[in-house]
Structure 1
Amino acid sequence: MAFGTPATVALDAQGITFTAHPYENRTTTTEFGAEAARELGIEPARVFKTLMVSIDAEMVVAVVPVSGLLDLKALAAVFHGKKAVMADPIVAQRRTGYVVGGISPIGQKTAHRTVIDETIALFDTVFVSGGRRGFDIELTPHDLARATRATIAAIARDSNRH
C-alpha cells in the first residue's frame, strides 16, 4: 500500500490499480492542485481537485480539473438542488477525514454523492489527491468513477471566464 492513506487502502480493497506520486509540498501554498501539477510536471487539466459542497444542506463531492472552476449552479442542477455553496473547510475536514489540500475523493470517512467533471474523459489517466498534501494518485477515469461511484457531468467552467 503506497503511503497507507484511506484512499490507497480503499483502492487496494477494490482491486483498483493506481500509481503513487509523492511530491514536495510547500506548506505556504493554497493552490494545492496547481502545485501538484507543477511539481509532477503534468498539465493542470489532467489534475483534478476535490471540493466539498453543500447543496440544500446535503454535503456532496465535486471533482474538477485544477485548470478550471466549479460551476455551483451546474452542480446543484445535477442533484436537482436549489442552492449550492462551498463547504466550510472545518466541516469538509471532519466529514472526509482528510485535511484541506489533501482531500481525496476516495476513501472518505463519510460517504458522499460524487460528481466528476466530464473533461475526465479526455485523458487515459488522471491525478487526484491521494489523501495527504504532497501525494497524488494516478488512475484511469473509469477506475476513479468506479471507486467513488460518481456521476459524470459538466460541472466545471473555464477559469478565464467570470
Structure 2
Amino acid sequence: MAATQGLKELASKGVAVSLHPYAYDPNADAVGLAAAAALGLDPALTLKTLMVEVDGKPACCVIPSDQQLSMKRVAAAFGGKQAAMMAVPKAEKLTGYRVGGISPFGQKRKVPVALEISVSAAAKVWINAGQRGLLLGVAPQTALAVLEAQAADLIA
C-alpha cells in the first residue's frame, strides 16, 4: 500500500485512521458502491469525492456513495450561482489523483471542501485514501477539521 499524499497529510496532523484495501474494479458503474459492497460497508457512510466547479472555481464535495449531487445545492453551499462537475483530466491534474482514487485529503491544490451534512453525526465514515482500492476510516468531525471543510446539504 502506498503512502498517499492524503495519508501523509493526515499523519502530519496526528490523525490516526483505519485503512481498508479492496479489489478495485475499473469497470464498476459506481466505484463508491462497489467499494462499499467489497468491504461490507454501509453505502450511506462510504463516501465519494467529487470535484466540481462553482462559477468556474474548483471545489470538492464529499457525499455518500449511494447519493447524487444537487448542483443547485452545491452552488449555494459555496456561495455561487452555477455548479458543474469538473472534467476528468482537470480533476486529475488539480488533485494529483486518478479518478476512482481521488481523496479530499492531500490534494495538490487546496480547494474549498464541503461534506454532506447528513453524515456529520456518524461515528465513522469511509473516504478514499488517495489510491484506487484503498479507503480510510475516520470520524466525520475529524475530516471536517482537517479539511477545514463545511458541512452542507449537497445531495439531490
Q: Please give the secondary structure, in 2, of the residue aligned with 1:69.
A: coil
Partner in structure 2 of residue 59 of structure 1: 58
Task: Tell me the distance in 1 between the aligned counterparts of 2:65 and 2:24.
Answer: 16
The AA in structure 2 aligned to 1:62 is C
Partner in structure 2 of residue 16 of structure 1: 15
Where structure 1 has 5 or more consecutive residues not aligned to the other structure, the ranges are: 158-162
Number of matched residues? 156
Cα distance per residue 1:100-145 (max 9 Å; x no partner): 0000010000000000000112420000000011000000011111
Q: Please give the secondary structure, in 1, of the residue aligned with 2:97.
A: coil
- By how many angstroms is 1:13 displaced? 0.2
Partner in structure 2 of residue 68 of structure 1: 67
Partner in structure 2 of residue 124 of structure 1: 123
1:103 aligns with 2:75: no
Structure 1 residue runs of 4 or more that deviate by more than 4 Å after TM superposition: none
The AA in structure 1 aligned to 2:30 is E
Task: Tell me the distance in 2 between the aligned counterparts of 1:105 and 1:120.
Answer: 15
Which segment is superposed worse, 37-46 or 25-34?
Answer: 25-34
Where structure 2 has 5 or more consecutive residues not aligned to the other structure, the ranges are: none
Q: Please give the secondary structure, in 2, of the residue aligned with 1:46.
A: coil
Partner in structure 2 of residue 160 of structure 1: none
Task: Tell me the distance in 2 between the aligned counterparts of 1:156 and 1:105.
Answer: 17
Q: Please list, as runs of the form range in 1=range in 2, the aligned pairs for 1:133-152 lying within 5 A after superposition.
A: 133-152=132-151
| Equivalent residues of 1:32, 1:133 under 8 A apart | no
Q: TM-score, length-normalised on structure 1?
A: 0.93
| Equivalent residues of 1:30, 1:101 under 8 A apart | no
Identity rate, percent: 32
